[in-house]
Structure 1
């Protein structure tokens, strides 16, 4: 069976089995660690990046802002609607062109509107963070923003070697969430930011569908650690950790989402082993 068919079947089985939270709100730009500033474009489909799955239709986000050196900037006016294409079809999404000024961390937060998942008769709302650094100068990457649902990094999310660990704390309004359930996905189909679509072929070959969406749990202090075996971007979604549990008279899962990037180890060909 081909990898593509395996992943497509895995996505379908996940949906039928009720694992609707495998969908993840992306807040994507190709490089989270940059040498210099300038304008970057963030892409924001609500989808399933590990399997190039269905693109969900969500209303305009409730909030979109950045935090840099402690200062919050509203970015709602920069949002533009786009269409995003996956293996299963095309759906609505958003993008924003943002100018990065100076060195340091830029923490982007996207609070999607509650999305109604008909198969489960509930709403999903993910509050997503992506941190883009300029010049390797750390400033805000470990800040607790006091969000309703939030993963606060204990590891720089843009400075991790492939094979290294990412550690974070799941929090709600500044308080740790013990034993939070966290879904982990690898962006296995690289986003093409020029054509607004996922790549046709996956980057890696998962050995089984259990590796498409992996589940871990935080400890009693809300802390978790996950090893990133492959270079690229990884998404962590802590499910139902926010204080709001109802929307339009139905159950609401308010999730914390963060994206991190692992980098390959590049060997120096000029280096010679000592005798």
Structure 2
């Protein structure tokens, strides 16, 4: 009887660990077809939106209707919600949008997704996400603030990056730096890499006393940075229960091989 209880305990512990591993490292993806538009003849961007675990290539979680989806352009802010087209990714609800980038200058695309209920963690998750696309080498606005409650302000220009470049960012809550905030980092796996152990899936760093973090990206592709902060107010989950909130300030950048 005693041995049976021990085995049940070990099984429960294993299940709890498995749930913990699979429920960690959520990332709201906002991935454009390119980070640099240089040719007027190929200026139609495609932006893919999904809520997933990028390094492990899933599982994908279903997205609700986004609260905000738009872009900051050299001529102001534009609401792009009408351009969202529902799609399925791994059988789960996701979105895609097209955008004709026709002006020189930096374009900051952003999304506030619908809150996502994560029963394994007992929290509602909202990842305020952005990515910068430069138009025709115009530059000038890559560090523009969207005005999200939590946000990463890039201190390194977030495009034109070689593999191995150091990306630096400032984590802000309500416009103020957040010291010692935890930042998760994942590479968007294209299927060419298998992590040798769980510790390699999600890199974990912290901001310094001024709210700044830095990370050198060792491989070409898209990299996601997610600063995770506790929400100041609870939200109601689908069962009508008030639960804690995880706020994520997420930013995507792309590196390319120097060759």
TM-score w.r.t. length of structure 1: 0.82
Deviation at 1:21, TM superposition (A): 4.3
Residue equivalent to 2:62: 57
In the alignment, is the contact (CA less than 8 A) between 2:20 and 2:120 conserved in 1?
A: no
8 A contact 1:170–1:176 mirrored in 2: yes
Query: 1:202-221 residue pairs with structure 2 within 5 A?
Result: 202-221=191-210
> Which residue number corresponds to residue 7 of structure 1?
none
Which residue of structure 2 lines up, in the alignment, with residue 126 of structure 1? 127
Q: Does 1:47 align with 2:52?
A: yes
**Which residue of structure 1 lines up, in the alignment, with residue 251 of structure 2?**
258
Q: Does residue 98 of structure 2 align to residue 110 of structure 1?
A: no
Bigger Rg, structure 1 or 2: 2
Instruction: Determine if the alignment matches structure 1 residue 247 to structure 2 residue 235.
Output: yes
Secondary structure, counterpart of 1:17 in structure 2 = helix
1:32 and 2:35 equivalent?
A: yes
Distance 1:19 1:51, change over 3 A: closer
Match of 1:17 among 15, 20, 24: 20
CA distance in 1, matches of 2:20, 2:165: 32
Q: Which runs of 5+ in 1 are unaligned?
A: 1-11, 190-201, 267-275
Question: Hey, what's the Cα distance between the residues in 1 that align with 2:140 and 2:118?
Answer: 37
Q: Paired residues, what number?
A: 238
Q: Secondary structure at the match of 1:77?
A: helix
In the alignment, does 2:83 pair up with 1:83? Answer: no
Normalised to the residue count of structure 2, the TM-score between the two structures is: 0.87
Instruction: Work out the CA distance in 1 between the residues paired with 2:36 and 2:232.
Output: 33
8 Å contact from structure 1 (residues 167, 226) kept in 2: yes
Q: Distance in 2 between matches of 1:13 and 1:161?
A: 39
Q: What does 1:131-170 correspond to in 2, within 5 Å?
A: 131-170=132-171
Larger CA deviation: 45-54 vs 30-39: 30-39
SS at structure 2 position matched to 1:49: coil
Q: Aligned partners of 2:18 and 2:63: how far apart in 1?
A: 17
CA RMSD of aligned residues (A): 1.8
Change (3 A) 1:70 1:217: farther
Task: Answer yes or no: is the 8 Å Cα contact 1:244–1:254 preserved in 2.
Answer: no
1:184 deviates by: 0.4
Task: Give how far 1:18 is off.
Answer: 6.0
For each residue in 1:87-125, what CA deviation from the matched residue of structure 2 results, as whole angstroms up to 9, or x when unmatched?
Answer: xxx211011111111211110011011100011221000
Shift of 1:19: 6.8
The equivalent of 1:199 in structure 2 is none
* Structure 1 residues 172 and 93, CA gap change in structure 2 (3 angstroms): same
Does the residue aligned with 1:128 lie in a helix, a strand or coil?
Answer: strand
SS at match of 2:146: coil
Q: Secondary structure at the match of 1:44?
A: strand
1-structure distance, mates of 2:232, 2:139: 32
Q: Is the 8 A contact 1:162 1:228 kept in 2?
A: yes
